[in-house]
A and B are shown apart, each in its own frame.
Chain A
Amino acid sequence: MTHFAPRFRIVQALLYGFVGLWSAFVLMPVAWMIFAAFKTRREIFTDPLGLPGQWTFDSFRRAWGVGLGQFMFNSVVVTTSAVLIILLVSGLAAYVIARSRSVWMKLLYLLIVAGFAVPNNAVIVPLYQMVTAADFGNSHFGIVWVYAAYGIPFTTILFFAFFLDFPRELEEAARLDGCRPWAVFFRVVMPLSGPAIASAAIFQAVFIWNEFLLALLLLTQPDKKTLPVGILQLQGEFTSDWPAVMAGLSIATLPIILLFLILQRSFVRSLAGLGK
C-alpha cells in the first residue's frame, strides 16, 4: 500500500488544485458584484478590480429606495406559488405514471419528455397571446401558471426517476395499514421524497427567481414586476449608478442562497443518488 501513497498525494493535490481554480472561476463574478456594490460611483470606473476604498452601504440604500422590496415580495409570491404547484402536480403525475402498468401512461411520459425538449423562447409569442387573451396579463396569478407549465415536465421526469426506485414495500405496508392511494402518497411517499423535492424546489426556484423574458413581457405594471425586471428598471434610472445595480443584484441572490442552505443536505443527497 505504501508505494501508492506519493502518487495518491499527487493526484489529490491536482484534484484540489483543479477544484480550487474552478471555484475561483465561478465565484469571481459574484465576488466582483459584492465588492462593486460597496464602491462609490466614481471608484467603480477608476479602480474596477480593486477592493472598495471605503465600505459603505449607500448603494444598498439607493437600490432599496427605488422599490426593490416590492420587487422582491413579488418574486417571492410568484416563485413560491409556482414551485408549490409544480411540486404538487409533478409529484402526483410522476407517481401515477411510475406505478401504472398502462402503455398509455408510458406514452404520456414520453409526451412530457418531449414537452421538456421544447425551447422556452420558441413558444413565447403564442404564450403571450394566450395569456393576454385570457386576461391574465399583468397578474401574478397568470405568470405563476405559465412558470408552472414550464417547470412541470422537468420536475415530472425528476420525480419519475425517484419514484421508480422508491421502496414498494413501504407503499404496500401502507396499503395493508389502511391507506387509500391518496393517503399512501401524502402520508408515506411524499414525506420520504425529501431529496427529490429539494432538488426540484431548488432547480425551479432558481429558474423562476431569475426568469427575465417572460416576466418582462407579461408584467409591465411597476407594482407587479419581479426582481429581474425590477432591477432592469433600476438600471434605467441609474445608468451611471452601477454600485446600486450591483447592490440590487446582491440582495436578489440572498433568498436563493438561503433556500439552498435550508435544502442543501437533501439536494446534495439527491444529486449523489443517496436519497433513495
Chain B
Amino acid sequence: MSHLKINRVEKNYGAFHAVKGVSLEVEEGEFVVMVGPSGCGKSTLLRCIAGLEPITSGTITVGDHDITRAEPWDRGVAMVFQNYALYPHMTVRDNMGFALKVAGRPKAEIRAAVDKAAQTLRITEHLDKKPKALSGGQKQRVAIGRAITRAPEVFLFDEPLSNLDAALRSQMRVELGRLHNQLGATMIYVTHDQTEAMTMASRIVVLNGGVIEQVGTPLELYNKPESLFVAGFLGSPRMNFFDGRVLESRGRELSVEIPGMPGPVVVPLDDDVPVPQPGAQVRMGVRPEAVTLGGALELSVALVESLGRETLLYLEGGGLRTVDSESAEGFVAVQLPSQHQLRVGEPVKVGWDPASLYLFDDSGRRLATPDPGVPGRVWAGGGWNRPQGRARRGPTRLWRARRPGAGAG
C-alpha cells in the first residue's frame, strides 16, 4: 500500500487552474522529486499536500488517514522551505524544538530530540546561535533539523537548495541523499533543477501546466521520455530538436526529411506507437552527448565552451537548425567528453548513431526512443528495460543515406 496517495487533486485560483487533476502514489521510504518549469504547479501541489493551500477537489491520504481537509499541523508532514523560514528571534535549539514545545512535550524529550537531530546534521556546535549567525548551508541544515525533530510521516522540500551557491548545493545534495538513506523516510522534493532531480530521486515526477507529464526513475525519464516536453526538460545541454516531415514508412521504420540534412533519416519506431502517415510533421531529437566528431555532416563552430573534463560545441551550418533547443540561434549542441582545441568558424564533421535518435509526433508524443548500449550514452549497468519484441539494432543499420555518400553518420 502506498504511503502517500494523491487522488485527482485540483487546485484553482479563480479562473486559473494551477493543478489539474493530478494523481500520484508514493511508496513508504521513497524519495520523489517533482520537477517542472516555473508555474507548472509543483510548489502548489506540495503546498496542497502540506495543507497550506486548500485543494479545490480530490483527496490526499497519508497511510490510512484522509488528510484532505486536515489542518497543516495535523497531517503528519514537515516542510523545509526555500528561504529556510527559521524563526529569527529563537536560537537554533529553540527553532528545532519549537514544534515539540508547541505540542507540550516534556523538556527532556525536546532536548533529546533536538540533540539527536543536531548530531545527525552535524550542527551541534551551532545550537545556541541565532539563525542570523549561520551561513546559508547551516541555515538549511537547521531547517531540515526542525523537520526531523517532528518525526513526520512525510518530509516535504520546497526548492531547499535554490538559495545556496553551486558548491554548497552539490554538497547538500549528497547530505540529503545520506539523510534519506539514514532515516528511510518518505520525502517529496520540489525543484526546477534537473541535476537535483536526476541525482537524488528514487522517482521523478515531471509536471507541466498543472498536469503530470511522466513519472519514472531518473534513467527511465532520461532514456525513454514519453513526450517532447520531458525529453527537452531533462538533460543539460538540452536535446537538439529538428523539425522534419515523414517521407515514407516501411514496416516500423520511418524515413524522415530534415531541412538542412544531406539526406533522409531513417528512424525505427517504438513498438507501442502508431505509424504516422507520410507528410506528417515530426520532431527529431538527438542528445548533445550522442553527437560525435567524425561523421558526414559538415558544420562550423559557432561557440566553444571548454569545461575542463568536457567540451561543449555549438555548431551551425547550411539550413540545419535546431528548434526549441539549447541555443536560440538554432545551433547544434555537441557535448564531447574530453578537451578539444577548436576555433570559432572552424569546420567540423559530426555524426550520430542512428540508434540514439528520438522522434516525436506533432502533438509532442513519443514515436521513437533510443536503444540501450548506444556508444556515447551513459546507461545504468544493465538497468534499461527494453520493450519485448524489439530487436537490438546495430548502429550502422538505421542511419543510412538514400543517395550514396550523402549520409551523416
Is A178's CB under 8 angstroms from B85's CB? no
CB < 8 Å neighbour of A177 from B51, B73, B83: B73
Size bracket, chain A contacts = 10 to 19
Q: Which of B21-29, B95-103, B266-274, B387-395 contacts A (4 or more CB under 8 A)?
A: B95-103
Q: Which of A106-114, A123-131, A166-174, A253-261 contacts B (4 or more CB under 8 A)?
A: A166-174
A80 CB to nearest chain B CB (Å) = 24
Is B88's CB under 8 angstroms from A177's CB? no
CB < 8 Å neighbour of B73 from A169, A178, A188, A191: A178
B72 contact set on A, CB distance < 8 A: 172, 175-176
> Interface digits, A158-199 against B, CB 8 Å rule (1 contact, 0 not)?
000000000101101111111110010001100110000000
Is A172's CB under 8 angstroms from B81's CB? yes
B200 at the interface (CB under 8 A from A): no
> Interface digits, B59-94 against A, CB 8 Å rule (1 contact, 0 not)?
000000000000111000111011101111100000
Is B85's CB under 8 angstroms from A170's CB? yes
CB < 8 Å neighbour of A191 from B51, B89, B102: B89
CB < 8 Å neighbour of B102 from A169, A170, A179, A192: A179
A19 to B200 Cα, complex, angstroms: 59
Interface size of B in residues (CB-CB distance below 8 Å):
23
B139 CB to nearest chain A CB (Å) = 12
A169 contact set on B, CB distance < 8 A: 81-83, 85
Sample of 24 A–B contacts (CB below 8 Å): A167-B85, A169-B81, A169-B82, A169-B83, A169-B85, A172-B50, A172-B81, A173-B79, A173-B85, A173-B146, A174-B98, A176-B51, A176-B52, A176-B73, A176-B78, A177-B98, A177-B99, A177-B146, A178-B73, A178-B102, A180-B73, A183-B102, A191-B89, A192-B88
Query: Which residues of A does B touch, CB under 8 Å?
Result: 167, 169-170, 172-180, 183, 187-188, 191-192
Further 15 A-B residue pairs, CB within 8 A, beyond A173-B79, A174-B98, A177-B73: A167-B85, A169-B82, A169-B83, A172-B52, A172-B72, A173-B81, A173-B146, A176-B50, A176-B51, A176-B72, A176-B77, A179-B102, A180-B73, A192-B88, A192-B89
List the 9 closest A-B pairs by CB distance, nearest first.
A169-B85, A177-B99, A178-B102, A173-B85, A178-B73, A175-B72, A169-B81, A191-B89, A176-B72
